[in-house]
Structure 1
Amino acid sequence: MLVLVVGPSGAGKDTVLGLARSALAGDARFRFVRRVITRPANAGGEDHEAVSEDTFARRSFALRWQAHGLSYGIPLDVADDLDRGVVVVANVSRGTIAFAAERFPVRVIEVTAPPSVLAARLASRGRETSDDIARRLARDVQIPAHVPLERVVNDRSAADAARDFVAALLKYHRDHKAITRAT
């Protein structure tokens, strides 16, 4: 099963994902995907495989998309893990969900926070104007109704949100095992 992690900027997806990855380290039932991005490795933020646009264009991916002037990809080898029953966890753009759901068994975890929390976090980064922040908060990309969804509200501590995130992953794993046994 492919678990797609989505959420608005400022929700703390990278932090929650990092804590969940640490909590499940060594658990072979789960794989947290390292994305391929056309962003320098030393650009800060998440650990990713940095590649040039030319290299990216020559590679094959399970999923690919563009956002904020960069190209993002999920490595093709995730299909092997999915075939073995591994729960593959990937941080993606919400716009990729419908396409992914056509190709893979998909579940979604949306990491989010109240608008006031998101606005404060975005403002504290100092990278965007208040108009830019307002535009980000106004975005509303719908998750397809047929795709199972769990929401993790990250408005308390990051550790609390990570516990909720891990609980959602474990639930998805149990559900996936039950479905697999029934077929």
Structure 2
Amino acid sequence: MKDGRGRLFYVIGPSGAGKDSFMLEVRKQLGSQVLVAHRYITRAASAGGENHVELSDEEFRLRQQLGLFALDWEANGHRYALGCELERWLASDVDVMVNGSRASLHRAQARFGEQLVPVMISVSPDILGRRLRTRGRESEDDIVRRLERARVQSRGLPDSVWRLDNGGPLAETLRQFQGYLQGAG
């Protein structure tokens, strides 16, 4: 970036849209341009999904009290946080990507200002429902609630959101992201 400050690509989207797969692809293909940061979560690291640092509730609270998180939130029965280390990376002109929370987007924007670039990963409701059923983690009632939540949360996003359709091959989703990068200069 020209102003000497990195950008924070704040990835949001419904569970099952492929955020983790997209971010893994960014790490593989664009790792020299974008640093993909981990989150701190009160969920077992062996639960699958993203690479994260597992914390007990007590460890999470202690780190929170010590001011070691740049942003934290609760969702789906777990606590999530982004470490304060990413503020140093951004100050060092490094572009960073994190798996964020749609519900905490307003707080993230207040914290990071113009450095924050919201990136919405989405798929059609049919594809999302199929993916959620295939992974087998939720009941049908839970899936219906997630589909409704995804519909509601996709509305009212700021105009600055980079919208990526992840309904096809990951390579295509990555091309969409690279198109935004080139346009943002």
- How high is the TM-score relative to the length of structure 2? 0.85
Cα shift readout 1:7-54 (whole Å, capped 9, x = no counterpart) = 1111111111101110012x1x42211111111222211111111111
In structure 1, distance between residues paired with 2:23 and 2:162 = 14
Q: Which residue of 2 aligns with 1:84?
A: 92
Corresponding position: 1:168 with 2:174 = no
Question: What is the correspondence of 1:1-183 to structure 2 with a 5 Å cutoff?
Answer: 1-25=7-31, 27=32, 29-59=33-63, 60-104=68-112, 105-139=115-149, 140-141=152-153, 142=155, 144-145=157-158, 148-172=160-184, 174=185
Q: Is the 8 A contact 1:17 1:162 kept in 2?
A: no
Which of structure 1's runs of 4+ aligned residues deviate more than 4 A? 169-172
In structure 2, distance between residues paired with 1:38 and 1:44 = 13
Query: What amino acid does structure 2 have at the position aligned with 1:42?
Result: S
- Equivalenced residue count is 170
Q: Extract unaligned runs of 5+ from structure 1.
A: 175-183
Q: Secondary structure at the match of 2:106?
A: helix
In structure 2, relative to structure 1, the CA distance for the partners of 1:14 and 1:113 (3 Å cut) is: same
Aligned-residue RMSD, C-alpha: 1.6
Q: Is the 8 A contact 1:41 1:50 kept in 2?
A: yes
Q: Extract unaligned runs of 5+ from structure 2.
A: 1-6
